[in-house]
Amino acid sequence: MKKLFFGGVHPRYKKKLSTQTMDFHTMIPKQVVIPMQQHIGVPCKPLVKVGEHVDCGQMIGDGEGLCVPVHASVSGTVLAIEVRPHPTLGECLAVVIENDEKNTEVKGEIPHNKEEILSAIRNAGIVGMGGAAFPGNIKALSALGKAELLIANACECEPYITADDCLLRTGAKEVLEGMMIMADLVDAGHIVLAVEDNKKEAIIKLKELQSDYPKVELKILPTRYPQGSEKQLIKALTGKEVMTGDLPISAGCLVFNVSTFAAIYQAVNGGQALTKRIVTISGEGITKPQNFIVPIGTSFKEVIEAAGGISEKTERVISGGPMMGVAQKQLSVPVVKATNSILCLLRDENGTAENPVCIRCGKCISACPMHLQPVYTHRYVEAGQLEDIRRLNVIDCLECGCCSYTCPAKLPLVESCRKGKKMLREAEKK
Amino acid sequence: MKLTVASSPHIRGNFRTNRIMLDVVFALLPALAMGIVVMGSRAFLVTCVSIVSSLVWEYLYSLVTRTRNTLKDGSALVTGLLLAMTLPASVPYWLVIIGSGFAIIVVKALCGGLGQNIFNPALSARALMMLIYPAGMVRFFVPKADGVTAATPLHHMVMPALPEETLWEMAIGRCSGSLGEISAVALLLGGAYLVYRKVISLRIPAAYLGTVAVITLIFPKAGNPLQWMGYSLFSGGLMLGAIFMATDYATSPVTPLGQILYGIGCGILTVLLRYYGLYPEGVTYAILTMNALVWILDRYTAPRRFGKQKGGAAS
């Protein structure tokens, strides 16, 4: 198959684990923990008090600047406002709500012009739901009148995860509607929905809908990790490379995950805030791998129990995918807006090497989608040679994990790249 | 339940150092089998001596220096086997033991061990053996007459003249030479296996063989250009060198462009050494010379920065 971007790997995808059952339902948690930060930027300040009653969809936190609000995902009573564990930030101030299961709901106003649409997207708390969690309204604002190409990202290139796949199988219309809203908003000339060729059922669904949305071009890409990375997807679709530090709009592109488009549709058309999302629960350690619609703030523990619990042999529980996800030390962490999956993995038999030293095979260089040289980054980080680390452009590293994945000596190459970036940041401060 | 908190990625590929080494051994078996069939049991014994002595040297080194026992990574096995492939079946055993000791202890272990050595251990050992006892390194069996030694096809080509063997005989290995180098077909088969298993890429062997093919086609010394090119490709240690020696990870560049330039460099030097050198063969010294240039190739062929267009100012 033709390579549309340099590097990458073909991990075992294991997506069928979680697509055996398709009748996924909405979970009803007893309690939700809503962190005040679920986006890149400034954390929200709580807008409610302990003991107060809240409705589902009510704004409970907001802030200034690069910030989008957070909402109650159930109706009930605020039990506490305190620092709680967070799946990616370690810990974060959070509002704890006890679910009264009455499901009383508040909705936002339906917007009528572009300005109102932008503020509706903001007030619904919409962030990039593919993992990065960048505020959606700010991304859209940066692209107003400049976007030549609007891209819906349904690559979902990480193994195990099928949340976007499920969304397309069951709610492709909402995604396409969301795309049309965004295309009108930013005056995008060209609209593409990009999906990898391992999602056969979703592709069939999309093809059925194609005649209703003639402006949307369906692009079926050969499956390869990390095609869902924004830079790699833009490269695969347009041949353009977005440099580190530049926004995709510098290449005329505006990219959102398909889940984000569905959330935009619900916000603009139904006044619904982002209070729930599809989450894949999978891995060899879970009893019944499947997808759920999970209210934001539901604990990993509750999701795992709903999927039949985990086996004693589970070694890691991961928020996100196996390539870039974050290993959790406790199961009390809540699902946040960017949590597309919870994985329960057993011990990786490929994880250790007999003699963990670099044999200079160069596979990490051939696998790096950012044209980096992890073999040398690793060497210079170990030796503390700051000048050499800088020369290697380690700042470009996406931490996609291809280098570590492919390394026959099982060296911690991604970790070294992270360390290298940290060393450079610290040196700059001085 | 105790949950492990570790850095991503949480899954790894099934590549392993020792799996790669075993793949190389497996890929060498057809060529080795041809060597033993054509040259008889002494070829087998030389191989055994080379492998066993390499393993013993590796073990002794870890014992004396009290470092980790690295026999399991499989690299000593590969070095021993590769060294044997470059030797004539009549080589004295004591010379093989010295050679393998030099390869394992001096060229590999003392230069930092697995992955750190600058020069190809097997070829360095062969070069040393040529130096200390040339007589033991240049007598080759003639496959047609048992026990008789004679000149290899390369000796004819130095004259310059085309060898007596047909191209087909050279391809399958009905000719004299070192015990692992005679059958181009078997070596190509092994190479195809390594490419299929993604142990090596085509970059180095294709650049190396392609360069030799082009130069010998343009500057033939005997026969018609195509014939000369064919004999040049199938004679001596070129196939063994291009597929198994020049692709040695530790002693070849890691960047894609560096690998291509390295292959071209090996090709040019091989032809120059064959045409103008002291010995009929030039593969060993061509590769060892290019080994010394690997760090320069790596340094100046770094991949273009993502987002930096071709021809743009270097950052």
What is the structure's pLDDT at B70? 84
Residues A157 and A193 in one domain: yes
Asked if residue A284 belongs to a domain, the reply is yes
Asked if residue A315 belongs to a domain, the reply is yes
pLDDT of A351 higher than 90: no
* Average confidence (pLDDT) over A201-228: 94
- CB proximity list for A379: less than 8 A, separation 6 or greater: A358
Hey, what are B90's tokens?
Answer: 């009549």
In Å, how far are A337, A402, A418 from A133, measured between CA atoms?
7, 22, 20
Asked if residue A288 belongs to a domain, the reply is yes
Complex-level ipTM beyond the 0.85 threshold: yes
Confidence of residue B142 (pLDDT cuts 50, 70, 90): low
- Summarize pLDDT for B119-139 with one digit per residue, the tens: 999 999 999 999 999 888 877
* Average confidence (pLDDT) over B59-79: 91
- Summarize pLDDT for A52-83 with one digit per residue, the tens: 999 999 999 999 989 999 999 999 999 999 99
B4/A401 Cβ within 8 A: no
d(CA B130, CA B39): 21
Residues A317 and A372 in one domain: no
pLDDT of B147 higher than 80: no
d(CA A258, CA A240): 22
**Distance from B200 to chain A by nearest Cα, in Å?**
8
> In this complex, how many residue pairs, one in chain A and one in chain B, have their CB atoms less than 8 Å apart?
165
What is the structure's pLDDT at A3? 66
Question: Locate tokens 């592709």: which residue?
Answer: A203
Hey, what are A311's tokens?
Answer: 């086996």
- CB proximity list for A215: less than 8 A, separation 6 or greater: A180, A183, A191
Hey, what are A215's tokens?
Answer: 């402006």
d(CA A149, CA A249): 9
What is the structure's pLDDT at B288? 97
Asked if residue A316 belongs to a domain, the reply is yes
Out of A288, A322, A348, pick the residue that ends a domain: A348
Which range of residues forms the domain containing residue A234? 1-27+110-348
- Summarize pLDDT for B174-206 with one digit per residue, the tens: 888 899 999 999 999 999 999 999 999 999 999
- CATH number, residue A225: 3.40.50.11540
Confidence of residue B141 (pLDDT cuts 50, 70, 90): low
* Average confidence (pLDDT) over A115-129: 94
Q: Look at chain A and report how many structural domains it folds into.
A: 2
**Distance from B138 to chain A by nearest Cα, in Å?**
33
B11/A345 Cβ within 8 A: yes
Nearest residue to A268 (alpha-carbon basis) of A122, A374, A89: A122
* Average confidence (pLDDT) over A269-284: 95
- B301 CB neighbours in chain A (<8 A) are none
Which residue blocks in B133-234 are alpha helix, DSSP H? 153-158, 167-172, 184-196, 203-218, 225-234
pLDDT of B292 higher than 70: yes
**Distance from A81 to chain B by nearest Cα, in Å?**
27
User: What is the three-class DSSP state of A323?
Assistant: coil
Contact (CB, 8 A) for A144 and A188: no
Per-chain mean pLDDT for chain B: 91
Q: Which residue from B minimizes the CA distance to A359?
A: B115
d(CA A74, CA A99): 6
Domain positions in chain B: 17-300
Asked if residue A192 belongs to a domain, the reply is yes
Residues A329 and A381 in one domain: no
Weakest mean pLDDT among A130-139, A299-308, A378-387, A403-412: A130-139
Of A326, A363, A375, which has the smallest distance from its Cβ to B15's Cβ?
Answer: A363
Confidence of residue B315 (pLDDT cuts 50, 70, 90): very low
Per-chain mean pLDDT for chain A: 93
Residues A374 and A302 in one domain: no
- A231 CB neighbours in chain B (<8 A) are 306
What is the structure's pLDDT at A224? 95
Confidence of residue B162 (pLDDT cuts 50, 70, 90): confident
What is the structure's pLDDT at B313? 37
Weakest mean pLDDT among A322-326, B137-141, B253-257: B137-141
- Summarize pLDDT for A2-15 with one digit per residue, the tens: 568 999 999 999 99
Return the percentage of chain A with pLDDT > 70, whole number.
Answer: 99
User: What is the three-class DSSP state of A177?
Assistant: helix
What distance lies between CA A156 and its chain's CA centroid? 9
The identity of residue A312, as a single letter, is: E
Q: Which of residues 136-165 of A touch B (CB under 8 A)?
A: 159
Mutate to test the interface with B, among A246, A282, A324, A355 (most CBs of B within 10 A): A355
pLDDT of A190 higher than 60: yes
Cα angle vertex B234, ends B108, B223, to 5°? 140
Of A11, A345, A393, which has the smallest distance from its Cβ to B305's Cβ?
Answer: A393
Nearest residue to A33 (alpha-carbon basis) of A259, A238, A257, A297: A297
Of B72, B254, B302, which has the smallest distance from its Cβ to A354's Cβ?
Answer: B72
B3/A330 Cβ within 8 A: yes
What is the structure's pLDDT at A2? 58
d(CA A293, CA A119): 26
* Average confidence (pLDDT) over B76-88: 96
- Summarize pLDDT for A81-91 with one digit per residue, the tens: 999 999 999 99
What is the structure's pLDDT at A354? 75
* Average confidence (pLDDT) over B86-115: 94
Cα angle vertex A367, ends A363, A88, to 5°? 120
Q: Which residue from A minimizes the CA distance to B12?
A: A405
Residues A287 and A141 in one domain: yes
Residues A383 and A420 in one domain: yes
Fold of B17-300: Ammonium transporter fold (1.10.3430)
- Residue A15 at interface with chain B, using a CB cutoff of 8 Å: no
Nearest residue to B259 (alpha-carbon basis) of B202, B174, B185: B202
Between residues A354 and B79, which one has the greater pLDDT? B79
- CB proximity list for B52: less than 8 A, separation 6 or greater: B80
What is the structure's pLDDT at B143? 60
- Summarize pLDDT for A366-408 with one digit per residue, the tens: 999 999 999 999 999 999 999 999 999 999 999 999 999 999 9
Q: Which of residues 293-332 of A touch B (CB under 8 A)?
A: 310, 312, 314-318, 322-331
Of B1, B5, B115, which has the smallest distance from its Cβ to A359's Cβ?
Answer: B115
Residues A225 and A371 in one domain: no
What is the structure's pLDDT at A168? 95
d(CA A185, CA A114): 6
Asked if residue A389 belongs to a domain, the reply is yes
Alpha-carbon dihedral angle through residues A196, A199, A200, A203, given to the nearest 10 degrees = -70
pLDDT of B311 higher than 60: no
Out of A348, A380, A406, pick the residue that ends a domain: A348
What is the structure's pLDDT at B160? 84
Return the percentage of chain A with pLDDT > 90, whole number.
Answer: 89
Cα angle vertex A310, ends A309, A316, to 5°? 140
- B6 CB neighbours in chain A (<8 A) are 316, 327
